[in-house]
Structure 1
Amino acid sequence: MWNFEDRVDAGRQLARELTRRARDDSVVLGLPRGGVPVAAEVARALSAPLDVLVVRKVGAPGHEEVAMGAVGEDGAVVRNPDVIAAVGADEETLAAAEEHERAVVERRAGMLRAGRPAERLAGRAAIIVDDGIATGATVRTACRVARARGAARVVVAVPVAAPSALAGLDECDEVVCLCAPPGFVAVGMHYIDFRQTSEDEVVRLLAGLR
């Protein structure tokens, strides 16, 4: 089932595909935490700056692993109506959950960048990188954040994704995905080593490639 040794291997394979199509003014944006080691390899290959786009899944009450949607920097929000209806969340519950996660987003963005300002995106190509896409809510929110910050072109680049998630991804100009198996179950099943990425590692990678 696996396609990649680890996130570094996935990033290098993804970088080989992107070097043929990336613009000179590209900024590589990793989705923390797991997307940043993948994005770091892409940034190195493209000689492009690396930054993060911090987004947070909005979990269903009592089932936090189920995404009702996601929120990101600059007030961006994406909702999954089917999930919201299935769990029976009302507007008050949903809004409170979004507000909580938005506060986490702002706090984490400042911590991961270690006080540095976000990389300027206005008029540039934003390449949004994650270690994989399951539902698509997080990466869709990231695309909206990049647009809000003035990106002229938004590219989503991932090693693996669920075909259903790719089919609903219309917030970007281009998708680069190495593997979209019809029997997709989970992102981690396509890696031999899918251990959790630490926040210290994210901070170190960002500092080294800014």
Structure 2
Amino acid sequence: MSPTRVRLPFLDRAEAGALLAEALRETNPEDPVVLALPRGGVAVAAPVADLLGAPLDVLVTRKIGFPGQPELGVGAIAEGGEPVFDTRMLGRLHMGPEDLETVVRRERRELARRVRVYRGERPLPDLAGRTVIVVDDGLATGGTARAALRAVRALQGGRGRVTLAVPVAAADTAEDMRDEADEVVVLATPGGFRAVGQWYELFDQLTDADVLALLAAPPPGG
């Protein structure tokens, strides 16, 4: 879906999610399930799930950072999937995936811990044969989204569709994601993209408690 005309910046994630939900409803997804990338993606995904009448859950991801400089992302991993590396970045750093084994093991442990926090012992819903809508609050480099989409593909076992839905994205990243998803729904791809937060008036960091409250909220009329 081509970007639609929206007013930027969005007020907050809830407003962005409501607008995204309207765009997704036009795609008429079949048997949808909404998977949000925590933490910020959950606040966007909640109104999407409400409008579509779809179950909402999280798909936990972790960035794989450069050793000694963890804020520099060189890959990502999502539950149910394998690490996905930025091969161009690794090439510039003269590194290979084997140089990141210690970091990957650490991020796997943290990923498992966060899964327990958000879902306890409850597994992900069965995704086979369903339209899985992966939602985040925006796309900058797309590393975590790519890992999430590949994990969903693996969990589906080749049965079902995958949609990536975000309110705002860097144009090149949104285009790259079309190789990973059956459909990419993005409301805006503005120029001068530096960070997701610049396109929101309110962009507070969510806590685990915020995520759990959104996941526990009953559907409208429920």
TM-score w.r.t. length of structure 1: 0.94
What residue number does 2:83 align with? 77
For 1:160-171, list aligned pairs within 5 A.
Answer: 160-169=168-177, 170-171=179-180
For 1:72-111, list aligned pairs within 5 A.
Answer: 72-111=78-117
Give yes or no for the alignment of 1:54 onto 2:60: yes
- In 2, the alpha carbon distance for the partners of 1:51 and 1:183 equals 32
What residue number does 2:182 align with? 173
Give yes or no for the alignment of 1:195 onto 2:182: no
Is the Cα–Cα contact under 8 Å of residues 44 and 135 in structure 2 kept in the other structure? yes
Aligned partner of 2:166 among 152, 158, 164:
158
**Residues 120-152 of structure 1: CA distance to partner in whole angstroms, max 9, x if unpaired?**
211100000000011011001111111111150
Q: More deviation in 36-45 or 68-77? A: 68-77
Aligned partner of 1:183 among 187, 192, 195:
192
Report the secondary structure of 2:64's partner residue: strand
**Count of matched residue pairs:** 210
Report the secondary structure of 1:74's partner residue: coil
Report the secondary structure of 2:110's partner residue: helix
Residue identity opposite 2:119 in structure 1 = R
- In 1, the alpha carbon distance for the partners of 2:98 and 2:150 equals 23
Q: More deviation in 144-153 or 32-41? A: 144-153
Is the Cα–Cα contact under 8 Å of residues 38 and 60 in structure 2 kept in the other structure? yes
Q: Which runs of 5+ in 2 are unaligned?
A: 1-6
Q: RMSD over aligned Cα, in angstroms?
A: 1.7
- In 1, the alpha carbon distance for the partners of 2:97 and 2:149 equals 24
The 1:110–1:22 alpha-carbon spacing in structure 2 relative to 1, beyond 3 Å, is farther
For 1:115-134, list aligned pairs within 5 A.
Answer: 115-134=121-140
Is the Cα–Cα contact under 8 Å of residues 113 and 206 in structure 1 kept in the other structure? no
**Residues 7-55 of structure 1: CA distance to partner in whole angstroms, max 9, x if unpaired?**
1011001011011113241000100000001001100011100011111
Residue identity opposite 2:201 in structure 1 = I
- In 2, the alpha carbon distance for the partners of 1:209 and 1:133 equals 28
Is the Cα–Cα contact under 8 Å of residues 40 and 209 in structure 1 kept in the other structure? no
% identical equivalent positions? 46
